[in-house]
């Protein structure tokens, strides 16, 4: 399984809820995208760019606090609006 990062490569693909970077694991980009979409729900991330997270990749920073599913303990789990993500 690999880890993929999904993000809107152009401004017109940005989601109205402000979620602009999602990490998910899957057997391939399509299955990881399905996991990512289940987590964030709402507007589709089908057109987000996908990048494999692997050794040698360029460093990246994401503005804002990461938010994970309510049921996990690795990441904060409350959104800016005080809600929870789906998966």
pLDDT given for residue 21 in this prediction:
96
Q: What is the pLDDT of residue 63?
A: 84
pTM of the predicted model as reported, rounded to 2 decimal places: 0.90
Q: What is the largest CA-CA distance in the chain?
A: 36
For residue 70, the enclosing domain spans 1-87
pLDDT score of 38: 96
Burial track 10-26 (b if 16+ CB lie within 10 A, e otherwise): eeebeeeeebbbbbbeb
Q: Which regions in the chain score pLDDT beneath 50?
A: none
Structural domains counted in the chain: 1
Return the pLDDT at 87. Answer: 58
pLDDT of residue 43: 94
* CA 39 to each of CA 6, 11, 13, 56, 57: distance values in angstroms, whole numbers, following the listed order: 12, 22, 18, 27, 24
Tell me what pLDDT residue 30 has: 98
């Amino acid at each position: 399984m690999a880890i993929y990062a999904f993000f809107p490569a152009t401004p017109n693909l940005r989601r109205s809820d402000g979620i602009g970077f999602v990490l998910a694991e899957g057997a391939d980009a399509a299955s990881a995208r399905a996991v990512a979409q289940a987590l964030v729900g709402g507007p589709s991330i089908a057109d987000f760019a996908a990048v494999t997270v692997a050794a040698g990749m360029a460093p990246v920073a994401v503005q804002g606090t990461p938010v994970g599913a309510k049921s996990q303990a690795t990441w904060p789990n409350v959104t800016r609006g005080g809600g929870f993500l789906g998966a």
